[in-house]
Amino acid sequence: MSPFLARNQRQGSALSLEKILEALHECHPETVIGTSPNGARWIQVTSFALLDVARLLKADPRLRFEQLCCLTGVDLQKFPATPERPACDDLVCAYDLHSLVNGHSLLLKVQVPRANPELPSVESVWGVASFFEREIFDLFGVVFKGHHDLRRLLLPPDWVGHPMRKDYVYPRSYGGVELCREGQTFESGPYT
């Protein structure tokens, strides 16, 4: 019987972020803990280690992250620089994970350069990543190597550019339809 079916069979215990990092350090000593000014903490991995770490996070009985709750892309280009975090224009993929068996959650982050954003696909680990990755490919232009069907998901196949990037320039027309009202400009964005 599946171990996460019944609630009273979930014997695992929740690990702190430090303990999770310790478990990861056994094979990937380069992973570190990242923090944001509001106290949010996550584990930062390199793009080379991502797939390995993902497999470990799901399979290791101490960790058992069987749910990929959310996969988010973030463009750091316009994020204000601080002394601790100098300005950079990288893209970030944030993986929100949860373990039913052990009852702990984890935010996993990986940073990729804007010019050549490539990550290994984790759809072999969590099936839902297939859709999440297509969405991020569509909106941020991150290429997921090893994805079985990496196409645009939400936008039409002939759309140009990746709209959720902070330097995205709004198109003036699409498919022969003018997107800009008379006397209006898109320089400050269409919603202002």
Partner 1 sequence: MSIELDRDGDFITLSMGPHHPATHGVLRLVITTDGEIVTACKPDIGYLHRSIEKIAENLEWNQFAPYTDRVDYVCSMNSNHAWVLAAEALLATSSETKLVVPERAEYIRVIVAELNRISSHLVGVGSMSMDLGAFTPFIHALAQREVINDILEKACGARLTYNYMTIGGVACDLYQGAEDEIRSCLAELEKVMVNFNRLITTNSIFKGRLAGVAVVSPEDALSYGLVGPNLRGSGVDFDLRRDIPYGVYDRFDFNVPLGGAYAGSKGAVGDCYDRFVVRMLEILEAIKIIRQALDQMPPSAGKEDDPVGGWWLSKAAAKALRKPPVGEVYFRTENPRGETGYHIVSDGTKNPYRVKIRTGSFCAVSIFEKLVPGLMIADIVSVIGSFDIVLPEVDR
* Residues forming the site for partner 1 (CB under 8 A): 2, 4-7, 36-40, 66-70, 72-75, 78-80, 94, 96, 100, 103, 107, 126-128, 130-131, 139, 149, 152-156, 163-164, 189, 191-192
Measured from the CB atom, the residue of 26 and 148 that comes closer to partner 1 is 148
174: buried, middle or exposed (CB in 10 Å: 19+, 13-18, 0-12)? middle
**Closest separation in Å from C-beta 18 to partner 1:** 20
Nearer to partner 1, 24 or 92 (CB): 92
**Closest approach of Cβ 186 to partner 1, in Å?**
12
- Nearest approach, Cβ of 7 to partner 1 (angstroms)? 4
With respect to partner 1, which residue has the nearer C-beta, 29 or 86? Answer: 86
Select 25 or 41, whichever has its Cβ closest to partner 1: 41
Q: Any residues with CB less than 8 A from the CB of 12 and at least 6 apart, and which?
A: 61, 62, 64, 99, 101, 102, 103
Q: Which is nearer to partner 1, 19 or 152 (CB)?
A: 152
Of 48 and 131, nearer to partner 1 (C-beta) is 131
Shortest spacing between CB 67 and partner 1, in angstroms: 6
CB of 31 to partner 1, least distance (A): 19
Which residues does 123 contact at the CB level (< 8 Å), separation at least 6? 129, 130, 133, 144, 146, 147, 148
Smallest gap, in angstroms, from Cβ of residue 35 to partner 1?
A: 9
